[in-house]
């Protein structure tokens, strides 16, 4: 109603006017092309070229809702084949007008079939897809990713799924095809293998499916960002559970040193001596022997262990798929788990040319989670190591005498000589163990018979690197510091062996 009370006349909407204008323009263009083909066709090509040139300078044109809906629709190869088949009868046409008339009628029929396929096929809104993945993935291990698909339409669909996993991951499948029954749910899975530790982000999910006649294909992009954390390989922990038990210590070369005391771990039986506590008397053994038998217990001390990990440039060297830093982190996590099982304290120090982080030694599962959080995303830095700062930091830290395990690479530069100068300070308060990780390539080059001049140069360099490590080990041994060189694959068992050796011999 208008202000004076009279009804207003209905005005045609802009969308209706746009459709009418498009239809009239299409009909007029077809008529002009049939009437003056020698003029209209070259003119259309010229106009198209001009529009292409000035397109960046033109304002953005309004889009119709129909065009927006068609943005996620593509025709299949079946439409192309049908269009090509429509050109065959043109060879039998007796006149130009008859051929054009048949072509228009055939194209209209083809477009009508495409339109019907669009109308009767399920809409994109009827399809839902989501990703289910653990927030913590294991490095260099296959991790499962589940894609859950829901079909709310009344028709069976054959859907193609594609997940945008992080760059650098290796996936078992690039695309996944699965049928989904009407009004039902389907779950498909694939595996990703991360090649680096740290934080990563999964991107969008893309689904595609064809219409009923398979003339059109609908595609939908779903924003599904998912943050994941790639941790070192935690599955290796279970493989070492039995080897650290007392009856299996011989497998890693340990001979436990027995120390009788007032601990809680049973050691042996002996004859009762006046003055023994009554709680130590084994009454069952006394009844069997006919005399008083006492128990001896092995004393245990709750020790404190700090793992100092070098994150400088040399630790970024690759040994196969992983870097030396990756091997150090894997071994540290395994050692930390065993220290937790022994109810000892575990701490962490990370450094390069400066101290980056320090986690004071504590015990308990909650502390181990903090230890894991501090170590999983360590990355090497393009700087040379400076041992003076971290060692002086540990000297000034308020903690009792501890086992300090330093994981580094002494083969590069003058790292070995710099460590020798400062390690003596740390040994006055703590028990340091220096473990130098040597890449297999260096050992192989030093032992290999050279076949060319390049092999000779490599052998000389490798021998020089190993000699620097040997000289450093001798100098530190003279100071009472244990220094060991290991290859990456020996690191897990080596750390466990040294920790258990110190613990069983009570050196702290």
CATH number of the domain that residue 147 is part of: 2.60.40.10
Residue 2: inside a domain, yes or no? no
Mean pLDDT of 316-320: 86
The answer on pLDDT for 18 being more than 60 is: no
The answer on pLDDT for 379 being more than 50 is: yes
Q: How far apart are CA 266 and CA 74, in angstroms?
A: 76
pLDDT at residue 407, as a whole number: 94
Residue 262: inside a domain, yes or no? no
Q: How far apart are CA 132 and CA 149, in angstroms?
A: 11
The answer on pLDDT for 259 being more than 50 is: no
The CATH number covering residue 315 comes to 3.40.50.410
Q: How much is the mean pLDDT over the chain? A: 79
Structure token digits, residue 152: 């709310």
Considering the domain architecture, whether residues 278 and 357 belong to the same structural domain is answered as no
Mean pLDDT of 361-368: 90
Considering the domain architecture, whether residues 373 and 293 belong to the same structural domain is answered as no
Residue 150: inside a domain, yes or no? yes
H or E element in which residue 370 lies = helix 365-375
Residue 354: inside a domain, yes or no? yes
Mean pLDDT of 16-34: 60
Closest CA to 64 of 13, 119, 115, 19: 19
Mean pLDDT of 287-299: 76
pLDDT at residue 68, as a whole number: 46
pLDDT at residue 150, as a whole number: 92
Residue 40: inside a domain, yes or no? no
Say if residues 487 and 409 touch (Cβ distance below 8 Å): no
pLDDT at residue 90, as a whole number: 65
The contacts of residue 237 (CB under 8 Å, 6+ apart) are: 333, 334, 337
Split at pLDDT 50, 70, 90, the class of 15 is: very low
The contacts of residue 255 (CB under 8 Å, 6+ apart) are: 249
pLDDT at residue 263, as a whole number: 47
pLDDT at residue 246, as a whole number: 45
Mean pLDDT of 52-71: 57
Closest CA to 144 of 176, 112, 121: 176
Alpha-carbon dihedral angle through residues 183, 189, 190, 196, given to the nearest 10 degrees: 110
Considering the domain architecture, whether residues 329 and 432 belong to the same structural domain is answered as yes
Considering the domain architecture, whether residues 339 and 208 belong to the same structural domain is answered as no
Considering the domain architecture, whether residues 288 and 325 belong to the same structural domain is answered as no
Three-state DSSP class for 144? strand
Q: What is the pLDDT of residues 125-174, one digit of tens each?
A: 888 999 999 888 888 889 999 999 999 988 888 999 999 999 889 999 88
Sheet (strand 216-222) strand order: 73-75, 216-222, 205-210, 157-163, 176-180
Work out whether strand 345-351 and strand 304-310 pair parallel, antiparallel, or are unpaired.
parallel
Considering the domain architecture, whether residues 346 and 456 belong to the same structural domain is answered as yes
Mean pLDDT of 458-468: 85
Q: Which structural domain range is residue 497 located in?
A: 304-505
Considering the domain architecture, whether residues 313 and 203 belong to the same structural domain is answered as no
Considering the domain architecture, whether residues 103 and 152 belong to the same structural domain is answered as yes
User: 10-19, 127-136, 418-427, 488-497: which range is least confident on average?
Assistant: 10-19
The answer on pLDDT for 262 being more than 50 is: no
Three-state DSSP class for 27? helix
Say if residues 494 and 435 touch (Cβ distance below 8 Å): yes
pLDDT at residue 131, as a whole number: 93
Q: Which residue has the tokens 């695309």?
A: 175
Per DSSP, the residues of 471-507 read HHHHHHHHTT-EEEEE-GGGHHHHHHHHHHHHHHHT-
Residue 458: inside a domain, yes or no? yes
CA distances from 1 to 13, 14, 356 (A): 18, 21, 75
pLDDT at residue 359, as a whole number: 92
Residue 30: inside a domain, yes or no? no
* Phi and psi based region of residue 281 (left: phi greater than 0; alpha: psi -120 to 50; beta: remaining): beta
Report residue 440 CA to chain centroid gap: 26
Work out whether strand 136-138 and strand 226-231 pair parallel, antiparallel, or are unpaired.
parallel
Residue 31: inside a domain, yes or no? no
* Phi and psi based region of residue 290 (left: phi greater than 0; alpha: psi -120 to 50; beta: remaining): left
Mean pLDDT of 475-485: 85
The answer on pLDDT for 247 being more than 70 is: no
* Phi and psi based region of residue 5 (left: phi greater than 0; alpha: psi -120 to 50; beta: remaining): left
Structural domain count of the chain = 3
Q: How far apart are CA 476 and CA 470, in angstroms?
A: 10
Q: Which of 175, 203, 231 is the last residue of a domain?
A: 231
What burial class does residue 92 get, using C-beta atoms within 10 Å of its C-beta: 0-12 exposed, 13-18 middle, 19+ buried?
exposed
pLDDT at residue 21, as a whole number: 59
Q: How far apart are CA 339 and CA 500, in angstroms?
A: 9
Mean pLDDT of 300-307: 79
pLDDT at residue 462, as a whole number: 85
Split at pLDDT 50, 70, 90, the class of 14 is: very low
Considering the domain architecture, whether residues 181 and 326 belong to the same structural domain is answered as no
pLDDT at residue 63, as a whole number: 44
Say if residues 424 and 453 touch (Cβ distance below 8 Å): no
Mean pLDDT of 17-32: 61
pLDDT at residue 107, as a whole number: 79
Closest CA to 320 of 440, 455, 142: 440
pLDDT at residue 251, as a whole number: 47
Closest CA to 497 of 486, 330, 343: 486
Structure token digits, residue 244: 């650290």
Radius of gyration of the chain (CA): 38
Which residues does residue 507 pair with via DSSP β-bridges, in sequence order?
A: none
Considering the domain architecture, whether residues 291 and 333 belong to the same structural domain is answered as no
Split at pLDDT 50, 70, 90, the class of 200 is: very high
Q: What is the pTM of this model?
A: 0.65
Say if residues 180 and 159 touch (Cβ distance below 8 Å): yes
Percent of the chain scored above 90 by pLDDT? 19
Which residues does residue 157 pair with via DSSP β-bridges, in sequence order?
A: 180
Most confident among 58-67, 281-290, 296-305 (mean pLDDT): 281-290
The answer on pLDDT for 36 being more than 80 is: no
Considering the domain architecture, whether residues 323 and 446 belong to the same structural domain is answered as yes
Q: How far apart are CA 497 and CA 114, in angstroms?
A: 72
Percent of the chain scored above 70 by pLDDT? 77
Considering the domain architecture, whether residues 289 and 344 belong to the same structural domain is answered as no
């Amino acid at each position: 109603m208008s202000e004076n009370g009279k009804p207003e006349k209905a005005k045609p909407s802009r969308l209706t006017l746009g459709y009418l204008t498009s239809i009239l323009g299409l009909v007029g263009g077809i008529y002009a092309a049939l009437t003056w083909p020698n003029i209209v066709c070259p003119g259309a090509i010229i106009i198209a070229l001009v529009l292409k040139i000035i397109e960046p300078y033109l304002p953005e044109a309004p889009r119709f809702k129909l065009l927006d809906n068609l943005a996620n629709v593509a025709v299949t190869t079946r439409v192309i084949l049908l269009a090509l088949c429509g050109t065959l009868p043109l060879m039998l046409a007796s006149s130009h007008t008859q051929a054009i008339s048949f072509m228009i009628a055939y194209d209209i029929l083809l477009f009508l079939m495409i339109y019907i396929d669009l109308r009767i096929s399920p809409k994109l809104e009827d399809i839902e897809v989501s990703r289910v993945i653990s927030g913590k993935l294991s490095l260099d291990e296959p991790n499962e990713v589940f894609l859950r698909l829901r079909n709310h339409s009344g028709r069976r669909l054959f859907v193609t799924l594609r997940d945008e996993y992080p760059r650098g991951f290796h996936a078992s499948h690039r695309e996944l095809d699965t049928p989904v029954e009407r009004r039902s749910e389907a779950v498909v899975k694939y595996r990703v293998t991360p090649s680096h530790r740290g934080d990563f982000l999964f991107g969008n999910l893309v689904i595609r499916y064809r219409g009923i006649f398979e003339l059109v294909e609908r595609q939908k992009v779903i924003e599904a960002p998912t943050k994941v954390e790639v941790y070192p390989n935690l599955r290796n922990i279970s493989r070492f559970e039995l080897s650290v038990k007392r009856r299996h210590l011989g497998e890693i070369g340990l001979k436990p040193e027995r120390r009788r005391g007032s601990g809680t771990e049973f050691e042996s039986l002996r004859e009762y001596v006046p003055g023994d506590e009554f709680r130590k008397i084994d009454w069952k053994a006394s009844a069997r022997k006919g005399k008083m038998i006492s128990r001896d217990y092995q004393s245990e001390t709750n020790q404190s262990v700090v793992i100092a990990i070098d994150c400088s440039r040399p630790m970024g060297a690759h040994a196969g798929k992983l870097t030396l830093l990756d091997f150090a982190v894997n071994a540290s996590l395994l050692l930390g788990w065993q220290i937790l099982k022994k109810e000892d304290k575990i701490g962490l120090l990370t450094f390069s040319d400066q101290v980056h982080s320090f986690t004071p030694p504590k015990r308990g599962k909650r502390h181990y989670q903090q230890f894991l959080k501090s170590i999983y995303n360590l990355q090497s830095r393009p700087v040379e190591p400076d041992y003076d700062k971290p060692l002086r930091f540990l000297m000034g830290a308020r903690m009792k005498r501890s086992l300090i395990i330093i994981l580094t690479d002494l083969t590069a530069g003058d790292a070995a000589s710099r460590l020798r100068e400062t390690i003596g300070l740390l040994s006055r308060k703590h028990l340091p163990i220096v473990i130098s990780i040597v890449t297999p390539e260096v050992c192989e080059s030093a032992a290999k018979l050279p076949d060319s001049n390049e092999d000779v140069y490599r052998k000389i360099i490798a021998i020089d690197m190993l000699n620097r490590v040997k000289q450093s080990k001798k100098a530190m041994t003279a100071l009472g510091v244990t220094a060991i060189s290991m290859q990456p694959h020996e690191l897990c068992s080596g750390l466990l062996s040294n920790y258990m050796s110190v613990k069983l011999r009570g050196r702290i």
